[in-house]
């Protein structure tokens, strides 16, 4: 399989996976809104408790996990490029690994700053 076809196949699979994830999140949001709407229509007094519980849930973005995964992917790409050992392709693998390493490091540093600031992200 030529490299261009491989890159295209990986891109299409990644796009389909991301679209699926976003559709799942969208349907979860729709379900939550319908539940809240039905609770308000049925008994507005008890809906206040439901809304308070939903608002009290921590809104974790998962930056630390995303950062760790991004850094791991970047390191794995570098290691795979070195293991393959083709001098013509090593610099492509390392260049491709720079993006997840930078994004992962930025997310990790943001999470560290958020924890040091007492749970608030800068600018929030």
**Do residue 46 and residue 94 come from a single domain?**
no
**Do residue 118 and residue 75 come from a single domain?**
yes
Residue finishing a domain among 11, 36, 57: 57
Domain count, the chain: 2
**Do residue 43 and residue 1 come from a single domain?**
yes
Contact 107, 60 (CB under 8 A): no
pLDDT in tens, 43-52: 877 777 777 7
Residue 9: CB partners within 8 Å, gap ≥ 6?
Answer: 1
Domain that holds residue 18: 1-57
**Do residue 87 and residue 48 come from a single domain?**
no
**Do residue 50 and residue 105 come from a single domain?**
no
pLDDT in tens, 52-100: 777 776 665 566 888 899 899 999 989 988 888 888 888 888 888 899 9
């Amino acid at each position: 399989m030529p490299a261009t076809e491989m890159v295209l196949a990986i891109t299409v699979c990644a796009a389909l996976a991301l679209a699926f994830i976003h559709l799942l999140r969208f349907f979860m949001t729709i379900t939550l809104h319908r539940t809240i709407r039905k609770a308000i229509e049925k008994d507005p007094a008890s809906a206040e408790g439901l809304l308070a519980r939903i608002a009290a849930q921590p809104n974790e973005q998962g930056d630390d996990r995303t950062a760790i995964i991004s850094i791991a992917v970047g390191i794995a790409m570098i290691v795979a490029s070195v293991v393959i050992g083709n001098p013509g392709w090593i610099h492509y693998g390392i260049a491709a690994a720079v993006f997840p390493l930078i994004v992962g490091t930025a997310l990790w540093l943001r999470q560290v700053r958020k924890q040091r600031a007492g749970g608030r992200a800068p600018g929030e």
